[in-house]
Chains A and B, each alone.
Chain A
């Protein structure tokens, strides 16, 4: 079945450490996204990519980095510059690359990141 796979499901970060969250999709979608979810808040966009080798900052990109070397993969690195990384991270993808696309996004099951 097609879908989005995020790994690991749980991740722990030590002080000063960078960690990378994996996101893979086999839906043949052009666009991919990373969101952060904190309790009692909606999702906030970290980064998004509409095409391979291109990505854009979202609303809360500071302390995070991404790459998009393959259509299927969009890994997120949480750097040591992110001082409050504890959150639930969700990856999503969608078919639309066009401006004002109305295509829904498909989500993975998330990675929960905590600080040791």
Chain B
């Protein structure tokens, strides 16, 4: 069965330092993978998506993610964190029939 695992429930970084949010997936199919961001009491906003084109995917707000089939990973990175990046981030797998499988989320804290 398909699944998504976000390896860290909380990540804390200082402003201006790199961000790494880790995601592994399990699937028998070629996956479609997404990263979404959620600010408090808001809906989810799409950051980027991978759909079997380039393995390095660039998204909004300076985020990018690299699809590594050999490692079944889709980690999200940003070179320099900003205070406004503090939010919850979800790695999501497209399970077919338009159904999405969500990771449990990673809460990113950014300190001055």
Footprint of B on A, CB under 8 Å?
4, 6, 31, 33, 40-45, 48, 50, 58, 88, 90, 92, 94, 96-97, 99-110, 112
Q: Which residues of A contact B102 (CB under 8 A)?
A: 42-44
Looking at chain B's contact residues, the main secondary structure is loop
CB contacts between A and B, total, < 8 Å: 68
Q: How far is the CA of A92 from the CA of B42 in the complex (A)?
A: 12
B98 with A101: CB separation less than 8 A: yes
Footprint of A on B, CB under 8 Å?
4, 9, 29, 32, 34, 36, 41-46, 49, 51, 90, 94, 96-100, 102-105
Q: Provided the pairs A40-B9, A102-B51 are in contact, do residues A110 and B98 lie with their beta carbons within 8 angstroms?
A: no
Q: How far is the CA of A41 from the CA of B88 in the complex (A)?
A: 11
Nearest-neighbor residue (CB-CB) of B4 within chain A: A42
A42 with B103: CB separation less than 8 A: yes
The 6 lowest CB-CB distance pairs between A and B, nearest first, are A42-B102, A107-B43, A102-B32, A100-B96, A102-B51, A107-B44
